[in-house]
Amino acid sequence: QVQLVESGGGSVQAGGSLRVSCLASDTTGIPYCMAWFRQAPGQEREGVAATDSDGEVDYADSVKGRFTISKDNAKNTLYLQMNSLKPEDTSMYYCAAAYGSVCGSRNRGDYNYWGQGTQVTVSS
């Protein structure tokens, strides 16, 4: 199984930047897919960004041009660089992983391993 630990959340003013990280630990050696999700109170968990094994990325329309997903395979770490943050980006941000051919998917149901989340708060 994959264990995920997020870090890097915090509070920032609108227009600012944050980078959240997700350290992955896998004991199987089987390739896995990763993505970023977020969930605000009372709202559904939504897929923010995902990357596949070829480096192709997919973003939610609400974050395109502002967020960048990247992965450092040597460090087993997934990143989400968030620029030009808006108050509506305030959410708990979760890293997710899955084995199989779901890389690039932002569908919550495709992932079965989740981190504990890291809070991002953007004030106006």
The pLDDT value given to residue 18: 98
User: What is the rounded CA–CA span in Å between residue 16 and residue 30?
Assistant: 37
Contact assessment for residue 106 and residue 80, using Cβ atoms and an 8 Å cutoff: no
Take residue 80 and report the two structure tokens written for it.
């989400």
Q: What does the pLDDT read at residue 53? A: 76
**Secondary structure percentages of the chain, helix, strand, coil, to 5:** 5, 50, 40
What are 14-56's pLDDT values in tens digits?
Answer: 999 999 999 999 988 888 999 999 999 999 999 999 998 787 8
% residues pLDDT > 90 (the chain): 87
Q: Are 24 and 2 in contact (CB under 8 A)?
A: yes
Q: What is the pLDDT of residues 79-96, one digit of tens each?
A: 999 999 999 999 999 999
Alpha helices in the chain (DSSP H): none
